[in-house]
Amino acid sequence: MIGKTEGYSYASLIVEANKGNAPSSIYVSALLHVVKHCSLCIKHARLSSQMDALDIPYVEEVGLRNASSNLWFRLLFARGDTWKHMCLQLGQLESMYRDVTINDQHFRDLWELHKGSNSTPWGSGVRIASTSNADSHICYDPEGVVLSYHSMEADSIKKLVADIQRLSNARMFALGMRKCLE
């Protein structure tokens, strides 16, 4: 659908600017409009092509005439985990920001611990180790854990998979340690 500005379509405004009946700044406005609406498509294409190259199966949430803003994917190593289906949320227009939320009770418990609760299976007196700057894009929330990324690189999905693999390994290790301590 072509956007309208004060009753004119962008195409009409460009035609009028070409005839000299509109300010030349209309070209900039039209270009910004196109970039804004194409940014999600570009982000989607870059990330989905990286997923294809790594043989990561995914499905899109499809809307009418809109690029999907969510890619649901599955990683083979996470098959036994409660979070074998994850959602890559592509974020807002005009931004390279995107995130993945992993809904998991283990990470919800860590969120509660972080807030100071002692009503988790971990009991009282347990503290979360400080994370390094390399992991500053990983945080806990009431749903589980959120991985947030603010830039787009040629290996963005490979880095995402490595982060999820580390989280999966840490989760398995922590749950195994808790079993040993019981």
| Weakest mean pLDDT among 46-55, 80-89, 128-137, 161-170 | 128-137
pTM for the complete prediction? 0.71
Instruction: Give the HSE-up count for residue 11: Cα atoms under 13 Å, Cβ half-sphere.
Output: 2
What number is the average pLDDT over the span 7-14? Answer: 68
Tens of pLDDT, residue by residue over 93-102, are 777 888 998 8
Higher pLDDT, 123 or 114: 114
- Residue 6: strand, helix, or coil: coil
Pure H helices in the chain: 10-18, 25-53, 105-114, 156-181
Q: What is the pLDDT of residue 30?
A: 75
Which of 8-17, 112-121, 171-180 reaches the highest mean pLDDT? Answer: 171-180
Query: Which residues neighbour 94 within 8 Å (Cβ) at sequence distance 6 or greater?
Result: 35, 36, 39
What number is the average pLDDT over the span 1-13? Answer: 57
Q: What is the pLDDT of residue 65?
A: 54
What number is the average pLDDT over the span 82-91? Answer: 79
Q: Is the pLDDT of residue 4 over 50?
A: no
Q: What is the pLDDT of residue 76?
A: 79
Query: Which residues neighbour 132 within 8 Å (Cβ) at sequence distance 6 or greater?
Result: none
Q: Is the pLDDT of residue 59 over 90?
A: no
Please report, for the chain, the start and end positions of each structural domain, with discontinuous segments joined by +: 4-181
* Residue 158, amino acid: K
Q: What is the pLDDT of residue 119?
A: 56
Pairing of strands 8-9, 4-5: antiparallel
Band of the pLDDT at 55, cuts 50, 70, 90? very high
